[in-house]
Amino acid sequence: MTDPTVPTCSTSPLAEELRRKIRDRGPLPVADWMALCLGHPQHGYYTTRDPFGAAGDFTTAPEISQMFGELLGLWAAAAWQLMGAPVPVRLVELGPGRGTMMADVLRAARVLPAFRAAMTVHLVETSPVLERRQRETLAAAGVPIAWHHDLAAVPDGATIVLANEFFDSLPVHQAVKSVAGWHARTVGLAPDGRFVFDVGPEDPAVAAQVPEFWRSAPAGAIFEWRDDAVVQAIAARVARQGAALVVDYGHVDQDLGETLQAVRAHDFVDPLQNPGEADLTAHVDFCALARAAAAAGARVDGPVTQGGFLRQLGIATRADTLKAAAPQKAAEIDAALARLLDPAKTGMGSLFKALGLAHPSLLPLPGLDPAP
């Protein structure tokens, strides 16, 4: 009988390909591991499945309640007015999952018919399975929708960008400190073929990524960062004409430590076993996002906690309206509200943050006042 406590060697096509790659070219940097596990063109986690919901691996805020997307729809309508109601306007969503949030956003945007009439929707999605799902969800949306693999493919012009739980799925780099200096953290192979964490040679280019005041951290310290390219591209667009909202889980104060995690069937699993079969994410460093966005010319509003953001946008009133319209669903609506606002350290209301980016001359974006 197999001992369930001993990790077995995955023999999936992706695991075999990653093993070959590591044998041929040496251990893979953690960011490459994450990018391949999630986005490999044939066998990547997102390439091959719809991971959401109770029967899937994890549940996101728009899948918990329609209130989330509706409030983001009102946020977008308010942002459009702050921008001077430009026509046309591009409403962009990065990583739209099942399309649930955009469906709720567009329904709520009916409160401002001129906004709906002015918009073209652009969904940036790399997964063919999820793109199909989004096309089904949004078939009757009533506004023009285009799909792209990359934000760069969205035509320029006045833009509103929404991104929920998108940045956490972008590859994260890790550096490890030794007595000699900083090294890239990598994934290599144990003699029995299992994937194991490893470290590359001491590397000044890796050290240069670590903020100066942490460079002399004790041996064993880990520092994590993401490339700034995506947030810079968003910031450069909104600095021309627009606004953006990023909601994700993560921290406001930069710190040492690693947060790479794998989730499968709503449970944490080993991020190195069964590549391509579990969702791999890492916390978003909102301090780094804000710094990169400001350097690219955007004004930064927030970050605030998701709980603070949704409260400022009036989620309690929206919940009351929904309960009055469907009293038999009151308990369900209250449970969703409690989950979205959960103030516990690991609850969505507190661990998740909302960050706004805007053209520098815009009035403050709604919901992002740090001390309302």
Binding site for ligand SAH (CB under 6 A): 46, 60, 62-63, 95-97, 101, 124-127, 130, 164-166, 169
Residues 6+ apart with CB under 8 A from 36: 14, 18, 28, 44, 275
Q: Nearest to residue 226, comparing CAs of 284, 277, 291? A: 284
Q: Which is nearer to ligand SAH, 47 or 186 (CB)?
A: 47
Structure tokens at 339: 């989950």
Minimum CB distance to ligand SAH smaller for 95 or for 242 = 95
What is the C-alpha to C-alpha distance for residues 299 and 313, in angstroms, rounded to an integer?
20
Which of 27/44 has CB closer to ligand SAH?
A: 44
Q: Which is nearer to ligand SAH, 182 or 309 (CB)?
A: 309
Nearest distance from C-beta of residue 301 to ligand SAH, angstroms: 20
Q: Which residue is nearest to ligand SAH (CB)?
A: 95
Write down the least CB distance from residue 98 to ligand SAH, Å.
6
Q: Which of 260, 295, 255, 261 is nearest to 58 (CA)?
A: 261
Which residue in this structure is represented by tokens 């309302």? 372
In the bound state with ligand SAH, the residue whose beta carbon lies nearer, of 46 and 223, is 46
Quote the Cα angle for 342-80-70, to 5°.
35
**Smallest distance from the beta carbon of 320 to ligand SAH, in angstroms?**
24
344: number of Cβ within 10 Å: 9
Q: Which is nearer to ligand SAH, 72 or 238 (CB)?
A: 72
CA distance 8 to 44: 20
Phi and psi at residue 197, to the nearest 5°: -70, 145
b/e code 84-100 from CB counts within 10 Å (16+ = b) = eeeeebbbbbbbbbbbb
Rounded to whole angstroms, the Cα distance separating 225 from 174 reads 7
Neighbouring C-beta atoms of residue 115, cutoff 10 Å: 22
Nearer to ligand SAH, 70 or 198 (CB): 70
Residue indicated by tokens 């890239």: 184
The whole-angstrom separation of Cα 134 and Cα 131 is 5
| Shortest Å distance, C-beta 95 to ligand SAH | 2
Q: Which is nearer to ligand SAH, 69 or 302 (CB)?
A: 69
* Distance, CA of 20 to CA of 27 (rounded, Å): 11
Nearer to ligand SAH, 183 or 264 (CB): 264
Is 60 or 186 the residue whose CB approaches ligand SAH more closely? 60
Name the minimum Å distance from CB 23 to ligand SAH: 27
Which of 160, 171, 158 minimizes the C-alpha distance to 36? 171
Q: Positive or negative, the Cα torsion across 230, 209, 165, 359?
A: negative
Dist. CA 189–CA 297, nearest whole Å:
43
The structure tokens listed for 319 are 């919940």
Question: Smallest gap, in angstroms, from Cβ of residue 74 to ligand SAH?
Answer: 17
> What minimum distance in Å lies between the beta carbon of 35 and ligand SAH?
8
Q: What is the nearest approach in angstroms of ligand SAH to the Cβ of residue 102?
A: 9
Nearest approach, Cβ of residue 112 and ligand SAH (Å): 23
Whether cis (ω within 30° of 0) applies to the bond prior to 303 is yes
CB of 7 to ligand SAH, least distance (A): 26
